[in-house]
Structure 1
Amino acid sequence: TLAETLGLSFRRIQFTPDLMPADITGTEIIQENRSTGEREYRFVRGPVFANIVLADEINRTPPKTQSALLEAMQEHQVTVGGERYPLPEPFFVLATQNPIEQEGTYPLPEAQLDRFMLQILVDYPDEEEEFAIVKRTTAVMEEPVEPVVTAVELQEMLRLVRNVPADDSVIRFATRLVRLSRPRDSRAPEFIRQYVAWGAGPRASQFLVLGAKARAALLGEPHARIEDVKRVARPVLRHRLITNFNADADEVRSDDLIERLLELVSEEFDGDVSGPVSQVLKPTGA
């Protein structure tokens, strides 16, 4: 439905244990040229060649197959047999996974997780939402879906988001937040050193700023603000903070750590933005 409203192509890939990388990207087959009688290779495109790709239950397939999406998500292209094949624009991947059932699943590698801009937690619906779901799915209701924008207009909107101004203080807030999530950083607070095995990388800083710009554009604001960064921090960072056994033992979630990081960095930026972080972010106990 989302693809139809945006006038985009859509493909769904059901990730299963026996899925192979070629089942996603495509493969080369030998085909006879009828005019010359010679045999030649022909590339058959896989389901990744669409504007919107849904990777359903992505953690049901082994890491080898999961990694088939790495190049596609970063470079918007796939390489098969030494040839590069560009993907249609705009291109983005949606993925689902069951956070509760772990039997028969394969945790996503950190490099794969880092390719996703956001991790959105879908909890139980409230009563009104559940009522609407049941009403729609237990009756014969076929409402026509009409495109509201074209692919060209959508790409123009994406360019517009990147052109939203962001002051250096906003970018500094985002990068400071990310850098302090890394336990090996000399300025990382004590609770990060205690509970985090691996912190967020540079992509997190990029996505924090882009997310803040997108939120500002949706709200009709003339520029991105620090408040916008705060509002997108949890979905941007929660899958990038890899917690350790101490966090598991103490039942500390990545969202809890992000909340504490936001408090610390906000304290600094409420005062002197250019001041040394070590004077403000004092290590605290768990």
Structure 2
Amino acid sequence: MPPSSSSPPQDPETLDDLSTAYDRLRQEIGKVIVGQEDIIEMVVVCLMARGHTLLIGVPGLAKTLLVRTLAGALDLDFSRIQFTPDLMPSDITGTEIIQDTQDGRHFEFAAGPVFANVILADEINRTPPKTQAALLEAMQEQHVTAAGETHTLDDPFFVLATQNPIEQEGTYPLPEAQLDRFMLNLWLDYPSFDEETEVVRSTTAGPQSEVSPVMSADELQSYQEFVRQIPVADNVIEYAVQLVTRTRPDSGEAPEFIQDYLSYGAGPRASQYLVLGAKTLSALDGRMTPVEDDVRRMAVPVLRHRIVPSFNAEADDVSSVGLIDQLLDEM
């Protein structure tokens, strides 16, 4: 039974339902996607927390297949937008077109591909900032405006944008303010030898496996509401805020290595997403409230794109992930 929107915040039955539903979802995705368990978990965490994900990886790592499979297993409408230098904002949001009727000609709004539940924004950094902003505004406001009229986007609404870390020529990097709208920044690595062997075996012999819906849109929305209601102890919230505060070089609480290697730290949205992610992790694991370790697990994907390394960090080959790991070691 899916939970109702009025489910009490401490409902063990709903918690068990969510944990069981997550297990079914992982099994269904596993029919198509080999490995990538951590990436799948974080994508589901982001979805349950009503966030959006920036996925970075070289071509051929099944980024598109992962998103399409997730949408199929959740019985959600899927839309893929291939970002190119000539893509216009109206190609994403939709536009007004002239229609001939018995009463004469009139304008009618033709919805763009952003009107779906799951959006794959493929290579978002290959389109100019004006077009990037059209998608990012839709992500933030969950509506688009055309000819002075506001059109509400579908719910649930989840954007997964991809970037290729190798080719930077002809790209338009997302500014820090726009990167901040993505809850998580996930990096896909190459599969292991055994995983790649299984991929080759399964994709070169016979028909491919197909996924079946294991969760409806209504169930997903109910679980999203339930996650929001999960209680969090004050010490966990304070731990998340302290972690974010220590990334700010001028905060007075920043360690010396942060002052040396960071130009700017993360803002309050990082603290919010750390706690939301921790709540979701605990719920998917069948636990009623998160602990500090859940915050630590969310630290890298939440903070990686929200801290700005200084010239000293580049000169000393110090990465954002290395700084986050060092910060966690000292807390």
TM-score by length of 1: 0.88
Residue 108 of structure 2 is aligned to residue 28 of structure 1: no
Residue 72 of structure 2 is aligned to residue 4 of structure 1: yes
Paired position in structure 2 for 1:89:
155
Q: Percent identity?
A: 61
Residue 83 of structure 2 is aligned to residue 15 of structure 1: yes
Structure 2 alignment gaps of length 5 or more: 1-68
Which amino acid in the other structure matches residue 196 of structure 2? E
Name the SS of the counterpart of 1:212 in structure 2.
helix
Cα distance between partner residues in 1 of 2:327 and 2:208: 47
Residue 303 of structure 2 is aligned to residue 233 of structure 1: no
Name the SS of the counterpart of 2:145 in structure 1.
strand
Residue 237 of structure 2 is aligned to residue 171 of structure 1: yes
Paired position in structure 1 for 2:288:
222
Which amino acid in the other structure matches residue 171 of structure 2? T
Which amino acid in the other structure matches residue 202 of structure 2? R
**1:63–1:184 Cα change, 3 Å:** farther
Name the SS of the counterpart of 2:180 in structure 1.
helix
1:242-267 superposed Cα distances (whole Å, 9 cap, x missing partner):
21222111111111111122233x2x
User: How far has the Cα of 1:192 moved from its partner?
Assistant: 1.9
Name the SS of the counterpart of 2:263 in structure 1.
strand
Name the SS of the counterpart of 1:116 in structure 2.
coil
Paired position in structure 1 for 2:178:
112
Cα distance between partner residues in 2 of 1:141 and 1:112: 40
Deviates more, 1:210-219 or 1:198-207: 198-207
311, 318, 328: which one aligns with 1:245:
311
Structure 1 alignment gaps of length 5 or more: 267-286
Cα distance between partner residues in 2 of 1:36 and 1:160: 48
Deviates more, 1:158-167 or 1:192-201: 192-201
Asked if structure 1 preserves the Cα contact closer than 8 Å seen for 2:202 and 2:208, the reply is no
Paired position in structure 2 for 1:161:
227
Name the SS of the counterpart of 1:95 in structure 2.
strand
Give me the CA root mean square deviation.
1.3
Which amino acid in the other structure matches residue 156 of structure 1? S
Which amino acid in the other structure matches residue 88 of structure 2? M
User: How far has the Cα of 1:228 moved from its partner?
Assistant: 0.3
Cα distance between partner residues in 2 of 1:212 and 1:91: 21
TM-score by length of 2: 0.76
Question: How many residue pairs end up in the alignment?
Answer: 263
User: How far has the Cα of 1:189 moved from its partner?
Assistant: 2.3
Flag the structure with more relative contact order, 1 or 2, with Cα contacts below 8 A and sequence separation at least 6.
2
User: How far has the Cα of 1:174 moved from its partner?
Assistant: 0.8
Cα distance between partner residues in 2 of 1:61 and 1:248: 27
190, 194, 199: which one aligns with 1:128:
194
Residue 117 of structure 2 is aligned to residue 51 of structure 1: yes
1:36-64 superposed Cα distances (whole Å, 9 cap, x missing partner):
22x32211111111100001111111122
Residue 224 of structure 2 is aligned to residue 147 of structure 1: no
Cα distance between partner residues in 2 of 1:230 and 1:137: 36
1:128-150 superposed Cα distances (whole Å, 9 cap, x missing partner):
11111111221222323210011
